[in-house]
Each structure stands twice: as C-alpha cells, then as structure tokens.
C-alpha cells in the first residue's frame, strides 16, 4: 500500500510540473489518504503484536 501512495505522489509531482492542476490535486489527495491508511494499519499491527506477547519491532 505504501508503494501505491508513492506512485500517486510521483504522478502528482509530474502532473504539477506539467501544469495539470486537477490531476495533481487528485493524485496528491489519493496519496495522502493511502499513506494515512498505511500508517493506521501499521500501528494496529504493532499493537496486535504487542498484545499477543511479542515485542514490537
């Protein structure tokens, strides 16, 4: 999922450099949403791992 966020970030940067405002804004928004979802899932996985008795990474 982090790979998708980085892909949309690159698309947003290229679109912004070429002057496509709508595409850049949409891609940046998608990248931000995917990044937040990735961080939330990461934190949930670390909490679940700690609850099961294994120390976090």
Tell me the per-residue pLDDT of 1-57, one tens digit each, with 9 for 90 and over.
678 778 878 888 888 888 877 887 888 888 889 889 999 999 998 888 888 887 666
Query: Is residue 33 assigned to a domain?
Result: yes
Query: Is residue 10 assigned to a domain?
Result: yes
Question: What's the residue count for the chain?
Answer: 57
Residue 30 belongs to what domain range? 2-51
Query: Is residue 39 assigned to a domain?
Result: yes
pLDDT at 40: 93
Tokens 């999922």 belong to 1
pLDDT at 44: 92
Backbone angles phi, psi at 29, to 5 degrees: -65, -45
Query: Is residue 56 assigned to a domain?
Result: no
The model carries a pTM of 0.65
Distances (CA, A) of 20 to 7, 25, 27, 32: 17, 9, 11, 18
Q: How many domains does the chain have?
A: 1
Residues 21, 32 contacting (CB under 8 angstroms): no
Query: Is residue 57 assigned to a domain?
Result: no
């Amino acid at each position: 999922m982090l790979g998708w966020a980085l892909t949309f970030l690159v698309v947003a940067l290229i679109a912004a450099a070429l002057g496509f405002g709508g595409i850049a804004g949409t891609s940046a928004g998608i990248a931000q949403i995917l990044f937040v979802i990735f961080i939330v899932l990461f934190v949930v996985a670390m909490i679940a791992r700690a609850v099961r008795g294994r120390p976090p990474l």
